[in-house]
Amino acid sequence: MPSRKFADGEVVMGRWPGSVLYYEVQVTSYDDVAHLYTVKYKDGTELALKESDIRSQSSFKHRKSQSSSSSPSRRSSSRSRSRSPGRPAKGRRRSASQSREHKEDKKKTIQETSLALPVLVLFKPSENNTKRYNGEPESTEKNATSCIILEQKLKPDLEIKRVLEQYSLRSRKDDKKKEEIYSEKKTFVAVKPIEKVSTKTKEMEFGGRIGTFTLIFFLPATVFYLLLMCKQDDPSLLNLPPLPALESLWDWRVFGVVLLWFFLQAAFYLLPIGKVVEGLPLSSGRRLQYRINGFYAFILTAAAVGVLLYFEFELHYLYDHLMQFAVSAAAFSLALSIYLYVRSLKAPEEELAPGGNSGYFIYDFFTGHELNPRIGSFDLKYFCELRPGLIGWVVINLAMLLAEMKIHNLSVPSLSMILVNSFQLLYVVDALWNEEAVLTTMDITHDGFGFMLAFGDLVWVPFVYSLQAFYLVGHPTTITWPVAAAITVLNCIGYYIFRSANSQKNNFRRNPADPKLANLKFISTATGKGLLVTGWWGFVRHPNYLGDIIMALAWSLPCGFNHILPYFYVIYFICLLVHREARDEHHCKQKYGLAWERYCQRVPYRIFPYIY
């Protein structure tokens, strides 16, 4: 097996993916399995490159001297380069011999282009190109509609054309083509989107192997602890609730209902209703297709629940067996995670998640090894992300509302219960209505599908997020109308920030030329994507998290101040989002290098203005 050619720390010339441009880079590591070098560009951007995309610096110097002196054909071409051999003077008609000469010249030009281009490019990259590739905007800010989008498939060609143009190595035909390309009213930054090639995960998150191993036990234990506590009349953090008998935790009928629920939602997902959209480009440049019909699934589920209630099915069965439901859902998510890990072992390298390919079983099992596991066109991660868990959360909340009415003999639910149910219903309906936005989130674009998301989507969300409603059944809380109105205003503010921030970013990512975004400014980055610096994303770096946290507080307040339990959600959520924000910052720094630093200087606060 050939050994690696370049050593760690060596300064070499690395080809910028999708272009013919080489830049000085430093080798930081080598992956023996994928045969990829991780190299660092001067702006801090890290990429994984194949050996064939790396050259030693000396080889470039050697080629440069060759190109300028040794080859006669090159010498002649070099001379003629200044007067552009491919371009006869305007209005001059060619004779047959001139034409032959021209053909000869053209041949030479082509030969020169292919031979000398890398050398030329290497030693005199265009100022603009260099800036752009290094994440520096040509002009620091642009309005969302003012830049030029070049279709991805044209980009490598255009890059070559730009270089040819710079050194007058193009023919008139090329000129014409170029004019046509530029005259099309396109709209984005002229660089191929560069995604890091999927390779071994070097930086482990969540405390690495020990942390993820612990979390596999800690997360389920937390769910059961919270549910047990909520059942207590007087829950106290210091008094552990008595543990239930093991056999009381399992009921095959409940497990059957969980399976039925999952497959019913899967059937709704498969219905050929709703539009089909493309996700963001993968590292291979491919785009996956997704059916957007989550909202229809919600309507169908609501109809099914309505029918059950009409036939007097006692939905508070869910309340009575909540712990058993949680255990069944946890068992199902564990089985699903095992399946996902086993199938990921056969997945091709480029389909593995950037963050879940460490080579350590526990870590990859937890974070998710495969990025987009699919059975045919059925995308398992995308399906689980919003449907069984999120819609399940609303159904559990409804069951709590009915249980409260039944247990406390109420003709209408309490005001607190109405607020909690309504706020959370709004959140879920919003997520399903804007289902397409999930395609640009970290969960879809970066994280693999493993235990973390399977457990999170199918157990944590429905059973922990419904904790306030569950708490209110056993701990009735009375709030006045003015208090209810104040909490509602708080929720609306949070929702407004959350929704408009997410929509702004999502619309910008999908179509930077969207006229609705014309007033927003952004800075260009090396990847071709812009970073918004005005609007919500110019307020703080994660305005959507800010809105989400404000809403989380509004969901807890209707439960009063007797116990910290209903505030678990807001406390946990702040920790989650602070940690998630740090992860995202880290990824963005790697993706955007200097441009990200500029963004951070411009927008100094992460989530809370003037605080954090």
The footprint of ligand NDP (CB under 6 A) covers 440-443, 498, 502, 505, 508-509, 529, 531-532, 537, 542, 544-545, 548, 580, 584, 587-588, 599
Closer by beta carbon to ligand NDP, 268 or else 498: 498
Instruction: Give me the long-range contacts of 107-115 (CB less than 8 A, separation at least 24).
Output: 108/73, 108/76, 108/77, 108/80, 109/77, 109/85, 109/169, 109/171, 111/73, 111/77, 112/73, 112/74, 112/77, 112/78, 112/81, 112/169, 113/164, 113/169, 115/67, 115/71, 115/74
Q: Is 145:139 a contact under the CB 8 Å cutoff?
A: no
Closer by beta carbon to ligand NDP, 542 or else 563: 542
Residue 333 makes CB contacts below 8 A (sequence gap 6+) with: 451, 454, 455, 457, 458, 459
Closer by beta carbon to ligand NDP, 235 or else 543: 543
Residue 396 makes CB contacts below 8 A (sequence gap 6+) with: 318, 322, 462, 463, 466, 469, 470
What is the nearest approach in angstroms of ligand NDP to the Cβ of residue 541? 6
Q: Is 544:158 a contact under the CB 8 Å cutoff?
A: no
What is the nearest approach in angstroms of ligand NDP to the Cβ of residue 341? 22
Closer by beta carbon to ligand NDP, 108 or else 587: 587
- Amino acid identity at 572: Y
What is the nearest approach in angstroms of ligand NDP to the Cβ of residue 508? 6
Closer by beta carbon to ligand NDP, 471 or else 555: 555
Q: Is 453:443 a contact under the CB 8 Å cutoff?
A: yes
DSSP β-bridge partners for residue 143: 521
Q: Which residue is nearest to ligand NDP (CB)?
A: 441
Closer by beta carbon to ligand NDP, 213 or else 460: 460
Closer by beta carbon to ligand NDP, 261 or else 599: 599
What is the nearest approach in angstroms of ligand NDP to the Cβ of residue 465? 7
Length of the chain: 612
What is the nearest approach in angstroms of ligand NDP to the Cβ of residue 588? 5
What is the nearest approach in angstroms of ligand NDP to the Cβ of residue 87? 41
Name the DSSP letter for residue 566: G
What is the nearest approach in angstroms of ligand NDP to the Cβ of residue 447? 9
What is the nearest approach in angstroms of ligand NDP to the Cβ of residue 549? 8
What is the nearest approach in angstroms of ligand NDP to the Cβ of residue 283? 12
Closer by beta carbon to ligand NDP, 268 or else 545: 545
Closer by beta carbon to ligand NDP, 259 or else 518: 518
What is the nearest approach in angstroms of ligand NDP to the Cβ of residue 405? 27
Residue 445 makes CB contacts below 8 A (sequence gap 6+) with: 279, 280, 439
Task: With CA atoms as reference, report the closest residue to 227 among 573, 570, 568.
Answer: 568
Distance CA(306)–CA(395), nearest Å, equals 11
The DSSP element (H or E) to which 290 belongs, if any, is strand 289-291
**Alpha-helical segments (H) within 409-480:** 415-433, 442-445, 451-455, 461-464, 467-474
Closer by beta carbon to ligand NDP, 280 or else 405: 280
Closer by beta carbon to ligand NDP, 122 or else 444: 444
Distance CA(206)–CA(86), nearest Å, equals 59
Q: For residue 265, with 0-12 CB atoms within 10 Å meaning exposed, 13-18 middle and 19 or more buried, which class applies? A: buried
Closer by beta carbon to ligand NDP, 136 or else 584: 584
**CA distance between the termini of the chain:** 51
Residue whose tokens read 């014309």: 518
| Phi-psi map region of 29: left, alpha, beta (phi>0 left; psi -120 to 50 alpha) | beta
What is the nearest approach in angstroms of ligand NDP to the Cβ of residue 368? 14
Closer by beta carbon to ligand NDP, 55 or else 591: 591
Task: With CA atoms as reference, report the closest residue to 29 among 43, 44, 47.
Answer: 47
What is the nearest approach in angstroms of ligand NDP to the Cβ of residue 9? 29
Residue 326 makes CB contacts below 8 A (sequence gap 6+) with: 223, 224, 227, 459, 463
What is the nearest approach in angstroms of ligand NDP to the Cβ of residue 531? 4
Task: With CA atoms as reference, report the closest residue to 145 among 194, 190, 185.
Answer: 185
